[in-house]
Structure 1
Amino acid sequence: MHDEINLRNMTGIYISRGAEMLMLYRIGSRVVEPSWCGIGGHFEDHELNNPRICVLRELEEEIGLKDGSLKNLHLRYVTLRLKNGEIRQNYYYFADLKPDEEVTLISEEGKVEWIPFDKVLDRKMPLTAKFMLEHYMSIGKFTEELYSGITTETGMVFTELKEF
């Protein structure tokens, strides 16, 4: 039974510059082994109802980048996975870096790197992020929709999340 389920809420942001995506090789995470992911992290208590505030705080903390350096910042995916007695809920944002903005490729969280789009999925990354990015690269980057995804043993089941 699932009587003792905990919740873990996290955000992540994937920033594009031309045909490259900014990713972090995260080292020392409490949740995932060393692997590539977006910039992000866990919610603070006061952020639980506002993932945008959380992702922007994490972005500034981890690489010193602020909201004003981005354009087209949108929540694109909300995913769920049951792992280690937790429902892990991820809010994934995507944005473009404004022209002439610089990114510090130094972070206390790990190694930050611009990765060509065609190489992103070759990187080792957390399962949920991998499934989400596979969907994004084949479908999501060509739409403006918000998607919800449930992680399974073999993939992720996506549906468009619509307001009605």
Structure 2
Amino acid sequence: MLVFRNVATAFLMNGNDFLLMERAKENDLMPSFWYGVGGHLEQDELNNPRAACLREIYEETGLTENSIENLQLKYVLLRRSKNETVINYVYFGHSKTRDVVENDEGTLHWIAKEEVLKYRFIDALKLALKHYFENSNSLDEVLVGVVRSDNSSSSMSWGVLQNMDGTTVLTL
């Protein structure tokens, strides 16, 4: 049986720094890995990943929607993880403040952009961050990324989410 898990992730910036979370070592899911802030979509959020993203931002950082500017969906990432397909809606935005609260998911850190890719992420997020850093000035559309993995490495196939008028075509 094919199972889907929907998650939303936010990478918030303040100046040249990104807000990242190091997952707690005691966490059952990906301990000691680094992430943006985010988590699973609730049942009533399945058609609104932005609402889930804002809820998760608040739960994990204490930041409200009013303290975030330009929160935009940039990527929809698809990857297989054991017996499920993970769909990750990845948002980028700017935080008006660096003041965040502690949470029980992990520890929050403001990390300089130049240092971000040195940290241990799941492959899908690291590939999306790398793409964002290389293309953020020209990234006007939502991209779909499909992770391809073999025993030694992972790569991402990118496509543009098609407009209703058919002006752009999704190619993977």
TM-score (structure 1 length as normaliser): 0.91
Once the 2 structures are TM-superposed, how far is the Cα of residue 108 of structure 1 from its aligned partner? 1.5
Counterpart mapping for 1:80-99 below 5 A = 80-98=78-96
Unaligned stretches of 5+ residues in structure 2: 165-172
Deviation at 1:141, TM superposition (A): 4.8
Q: Does 1:159 align with 2:155?
A: no
1: distance between equivalents of 2:29 and 2:161? 26
Q: Which has the higher contact order (CA 8 A, sep 6+)?
A: 1
User: Does 1:122 find its partner at 2:118?
Assistant: yes
Residue of structure 2 in register with 1:79 after alignment: 77
Tell me the C-alpha RMSD between the 2 structures. 1.4
Specify the SS of the correspondent of 1:113: strand
User: 1:3-32 deviations in whole A, cap 9, x for unaligned?
Assistant: x11111000000011111110001254442
2:13 pairs with 1:16: yes
SS at match of 1:8: strand
Distance in 1, matches of 2:54 and 2:123, equals 23
- Percent identity of paired positions between Structure 1 and Structure 2: 33
Deviating beyond 6 angstroms after TM superposition, the runs of 4 or more aligned structure 1 residues are none
- Work out the number of aligned pairs and report it: 159
SS at match of 2:54: helix
Partner of 1:145: 141
Q: 1:77 to 1:30 in 2, by over 3 A?
A: farther
Q: Which residue of 1 aligns with 2:4?
A: 7
Distance in 2 (alpha carbons) for counterparts of 1:44 and 1:30 = 20
Tell me if 1:111 matches 2:107.
yes
